[in-house]
Structure formats: structure tokens, C-alpha cells
Amino acid sequence: MGVAVIGGGPAGRIAAMRLAAHGKEVILFDKRPEGLGGQCLHEGCMVICAQNDAARACEETRTLHRFGITDTAPRIDYACLQEKMAGIQETIAGVLDTETREAGVTVVCEDARVEGKRVYAGGKEYAAEAVLIATGSVPRIPAIPGTGLSEVYTAHSLSRLRRSPRRMVIIGSGVIAVEYAYIFHAAGAEVEIVARSTLLRGFPGPLVKGAKKDLEGVRIHEETETIAIEGTGAGAATGVRVRTGGSEELIPCDTVLIAAGLIPRTDGISGIALGPNGEIRVNERMETSVPGVYAAGDVTGPPYLTPVARREGRTAADAILGLPLKPAPACIPQSIRLRHEHSIALHPDADEKGIIIPSPAGPGSFWLVPERNTGRSLLMTDTTTGRMTGFYEAAPQSSSAAGYLAYLINREFSVDEMDMFTEVHPSTEGVAWLMRYCAEQREDR
């Protein structure tokens, strides 16, 4: 009977190809007319990367212009950016589709629904020995008046925006909120963030401080309640009314972006136990409350990260195949892309206290020395054993090394082993320097 996989994002696609590689007959249902790839390709990671590339290029050229090195200070044509980006997304979706089908997976472009272990799509019922639900997540829409006005967007609907906003209000305090604040500010908009709590709550203080440095020019309202989005009689948004403490304020704008987090996408799914936030409950084998039905990725709840979704997809596939399961890593790296890449990984027992230094100047940050904004490097270690427990790196390109550093944390790597390390020069990353410094200090003691 084979295996039915619902959702063609990172979790579903990885699982489907792995199952097919082990001889299973796999049918993958995905309703997106634009193709496979899920939220990551079509509204999330890849979109942020593309727009951040444009924003950074403008920021870097403007910096050179301030020094008199270039004769122009560019601006972003947002309509053109959207158009060209869509063409490249289409190319990537085509590559993913070919790769998936050539792996032996049957792809059906239909919206599937699941009732217990029953799968329905296109007016037909599909029998399966196992079902994997990987339907991802959708933006959370807060219960405030005015969210239905025109010029009010989420990350999922932002592709409809075909102009550069003049004044934008972003409702939210997390990663998506700050990344888009940087992008639209670099695109020339006046941007204000309305955060119900504090900006980037839950992240270490040095990261929050570094992010705010990259967001200079963006007005940030923390501990602020959004009362309503106001608009004209024609239905266009004109402002956001907020309350801080006991005082109210109307923030004028022509565009609103709601970036208030994500929730699991479980519409079309019934007969399966859900958690308090609408996530599908799973055990360590990614099994749901229904025998033979599994779930993986964002639909199972936070942290809503693509590498986690991929790993969970593989775990679910291995559970279906009866293969030994690999333990989940305790430390997951993450990067926030602003003027710098703010990369971080923390072991659950990490102490935020550590050694912090300015990141060294180098490629991408040399011209930021006058602004004292070359980034920051923070290393956390167990002072008794020397075991590395966490790091934060703000540098133009810190995400590539972040995965390897997280691996060292998961392997309980001690800085004592850094005596043979030699860094590439020039480099803008200081964590490796700190690892060697800590090793030398331990040796001296």
C-alpha cells in the first residue's frame, strides 16, 4: 500500500525521498501551485536571504558613498526585487520537483486531508500502510481589529506587495520581525516595530544588543500593546494604534506587516490528538496518537527551524522503516540575518556568562570600524572541564561556522583541544580566537 506523505516542505520531502530510497512506494501530496519547497522556499528562509542580500548590498554601497569612495547611494526597487526573486524561486522549485520524482516519489499536486489514518485528496481516498503529516505552519494573526484591511501583510502574503513602502509598522518582536525591519529600512522605508513584550525575548542580551545596533534608524516600541489597525473608508491601512503603559499613540503608516509568530497548520486534519497550541502531539519516534500515523516539522510545534524539520522528517522515515533512530542534538544553531549574521547555539545547561570581545575587522566589516560595529563574539564554557556550552557570533558571515561550532558543543568538545587550531586570516569571526584563549588560560592555571 505504500506511505502517504502530506506536505512537500523540508520535513515531508526528506522523509519521502528516504522512504523511496529504501524501497517504499511513496506518494507525496502538496497543494502549492508554485511547487515543492514549503514555507522555507516560498515565504521563509530563502525569501529572507534574497531580500537581505539586496538590503546589505545597498547598505554596504551607502557606507562607501559616505566615505566618498562611490559616487552614488543606491535604493531598492522593491517591485523589481519581488519579480526577479519569484523567477529564481520557480527555478529552485523545479529542481526540487525533479530531484523528488527522480528519487522514486510520486508527487500529487492536491490538497490532502487526514481523518485518523484515512487520506483524502481530489475526491479519492488513498490507502496507506503509514501516513506522515508534514503540513508546516502558518503566521499567527493576533485578535486585533483591522487585520483584514488592504496593505496589511504577513510573511505568507508579502509577495503581493509590489511597491516600496514609505512608512511601515511591524507588529511582532521575534526573528521575522527584526529581519524584515532591517530589510525595509534598508529599502528606504521609515520602519517602526511594535513589540508586545521585549525585542527578541528569550535570546541572550549580547545578541539583542547587537541586533538593535544593526537596527539603528528603526523605532522600537517594547512592552507595547497593539490596540487596532486603522484605515480609510476604502479599506486601506493608515495607522496602528498602540498603548504603552497608560498612554495611547497612533503610528501613521501605509503598510503593516504582522510578524507575531507561527502556529502549526492543522486545518484538514482530524482524529489525531493535538497539544495546547494546536500542534500535533508526537513521541520520540514522531508517532501520533493514531497507530501508523506520524508527524514531523513545524506541524509538531516549535522551534520552527528548517534543519529541525529535516531531522524530524528523517526520524519519522526511519521509524516507519524500522531503522535505529539517532538521538536529537541538544544544541541547535540559529542565525538572524541583519547587517551582520547573528549566529547562536546554546546547550540547555549553558550559562549566559562568558567571555565577549569585539569581532575582528575583515571582509565585510572593515568599513564599519569607524561605527564600532564590527560585531561581537561570545564564548561560554564550563570553567571546570573546559567544555564549550554556547556561543554568539555577530559578523558579516557567521552562519557557516555556526553549524560546526554547534557540533563541537554537542560532542562535548573541550577548549583544551584547541592548541593545534589555526584560523584563516583575514577573518571576521572571533569565537575560534576565544576558544584558543580559554585553552591557554586553562593551561596557565
**Domain identity same for 270 and 254:** no
For residue 391, what are the β-bridge partners? Answer: 345, 379
Q: What is the pLDDT of residues 270-327, one digit of tens each?
A: 999 999 999 999 999 999 999 999 999 999 999 999 999 999 999 999 999 999 999 9
Which domain CATH number covers 425?
Answer: 3.30.390.30
Nine-digit cell string for 26: 511513496
Domain boundary among 293, 321, 349: 321
Whether 20 is in a domain gets the answer: yes
Taking 90 as the threshold, does the pLDDT of residue 69 lie above it? yes
Q: How far apart are the C-alpha atoms of 260 and 38, rounded to whole Å?
A: 20
**Domain identity same for 72 and 134:** yes
Q: Judge whether 232 and 239 are in contact, CB under 8 Å.
A: no
Q: Judge whether 193 and 179 are in contact, CB under 8 Å.
A: no
**Domain identity same for 91 and 17:** yes
Q: Looking at this protein, which amino acid is placed at residue 144?
A: I
**Domain identity same for 124 and 13:** yes
**Domain identity same for 23 and 134:** yes
For residue 315, give its domain range: 3-139+263-321
**Domain identity same for 7 and 122:** yes
Q: Is the pTM of this model over 0.85?
A: yes
Average pLDDT across the chain, whole number: 95
Q: What is the pLDDT of residues 95-136, one digit of tens each?
A: 999 999 999 999 999 999 999 999 999 999 999 999 999 999
Whether 327 is in a domain gets the answer: no
Q: How far apart are the C-alpha atoms of 64 and 67, rounded to whole Å?
A: 5
**Domain identity same for 71 and 101:** yes
C-alpha pair distances (Å), 295 with each of 133, 318, 383, 401: 4, 13, 40, 30
Which domain CATH number covers 223?
Answer: 3.50.50.60
Domain boundary among 212, 227, 260: 260
Whether 166 is in a domain gets the answer: yes
Report the number of distinct structural domains present in the chain.
Answer: 3
Q: How far apart are the C-alpha atoms of 186 and 147, rounded to whole Å?
A: 25
**Domain identity same for 174 and 317:** no
Domain boundary among 244, 260, 276: 260
8-state DSSP, 178: H
% of the chain at pLDDT higher than 90: 90
Q: Judge whether 323 and 350 are in contact, CB under 8 Å.
A: no
**Domain identity same for 211 and 84:** no
**Placement of cell 517504499 in the chain:** 24
**Domain identity same for 31 and 82:** yes
Whether 144 is in a domain gets the answer: no
**Placement of cell 501530496 in the chain:** 29
Whether 425 is in a domain gets the answer: yes
Q: Give Cβ neighbours of residue 123 (< 8 Å, ≥ 6 apart).
A: none
CB atoms within 10 A of CB 149: 17
